[in-house]
Amino acid sequence: MRAPSSLPAHLSAAPFTVHEARAASLSAARLRSSDLTTAGRLLYLPAGWEFELRGLARALSAATPGAWISHLTAATLQGLWLPSWYRGCPELHLSKPKALPPVRRQGVVGHTVLAFEDEVTVLEGIRISTPARTWLDLARIVPLEDLVAVGDQVIRRPRPELEGRTEPWATLPQLHQMLRRHPKLKGIVKAREAAELIRPGADSAPETFLRLALTAAGLPEPELRIVPEDPYSPAADLGYRKHRVAIQYDGGHHLSREQQSRDNRRDESFNAAGWRYFKFNADDLADDFRSAVRRVRHALRGH
């Protein structure tokens, strides 16, 4: 049997659509060769291709005019936090407007939704829901606290040197406006509840969970981004300025030498200023911050 001709380089390493195949002058017979498999209508996978979400999402978006990547898939591609049981899920979520036929592809979760033009964008050639719309779509899937954590990320002011952008993906008023646009969307009640708990200033999901644990235990809501009197000290994640209590959550990035130097400078500043200063980590997160809440409660009572 004659071996099939080599695929063009740009089609040999990632999924591609039938339109891209035609543009590369591949015949119908070539598309039936053993080194290609189909991933549903108008979509082909090179043999040996290892699953890679971004490449498959790009091809799926291109093969489905009028549709866009959404829900968990959009959150993953945008770098939004997700609970561990959703990470690495090979399912792709694709949304379509009601005017188009529903999605019927193996391995694709289809959604028929109402979305406004400014709720869909293009990311690296992929039609995808905006981070704000992605947050709203997740309301039907993730628990309330997780939805608050995603919302905190959406409105968080980014670090330009690390993220290449200077503005948050959305503001809290914009999230509220989106809620008013979609009063009958599945999950809207949970989304409204989450919107009331979202706050600017949280840098990570564990910080959000710590804040929610404190308020759920009946403690006052902490302020975010607490800075001591020393203007050169980095801020603590949250705390109670009136009670001179500062709280820090140390994630994995705190293991770097540069970050440890910043942490030491911050710790010394708060201690020198006479603050009660707490540092929590993944062990406290695994404990649902129960011990952390007790320690903070004791500090507030003893003030």
**Residue whose C-alpha is closest to residue 119's, from 91, 111, 102:** 111
Q: Where are the domains of the chain?
A: 9-46, 53-195, 205-301
Q: Are the beta carbons of 187 and 139 closer than 8 angstroms? A: yes
Q: Which of 139, 155, 166, 127 is nearest to 71 (CA)?
A: 139
Mean pLDDT of 15-43: 67
More confident residue, 289 or 272: 289
Write the pLDDT tens digit of every residue in 123-135.
988 999 999 999 9
List, in sequence order, every residue forming a beta bridge with 226; answer none if it has no partner: 236
Give the chain's mean pLDDT.
84
- 275 burial level (CB within 10 Å; 0-12, 13-18, 19+): buried
Query: Which helix (H) or strand (E) is 215 found in, with range?
Result: helix 205-216
Q: What is the pLDDT of residue 211?
A: 97
Residue 280: count of CB within 10 angstroms of its CB: 21
Comparing 62 with 221, which gets the higher pLDDT? 221
Q: Does residue 106 carry a pLDDT above 80?
A: no
pLDDT band at 143, cuts 50/70/90?
A: very high
What's the pTM? Answer: 0.81
User: From 1.10.645.10, 3.40.50.150, 2.60.40.1190, 3.40.960.10, which CATH number describes the 205-301 domain?
Assistant: 3.40.960.10
d(CA 127, CA 133): 13
* pLDDT for res 50: 55
Sequence-distant (≥ 6) Cβ neighbours of residue 85 within 8 angstroms: none
pLDDT band for position 28 (50/70/90)?
confident
For residue 272, give the amino acid letter: A
CA distance readout (Å), 226 to 143, 199, 239, 243, 253: 28, 14, 6, 12, 20
pLDDT given for residue 138 in this prediction: 96
Instruction: Encode pLDDT of 209-231 as tens digits.
Output: 999 999 999 999 999 988 776 66
The CA-atom distances, in angstroms, between 242 and each of 54, 239, 248, 275 are 47, 9, 17, 10
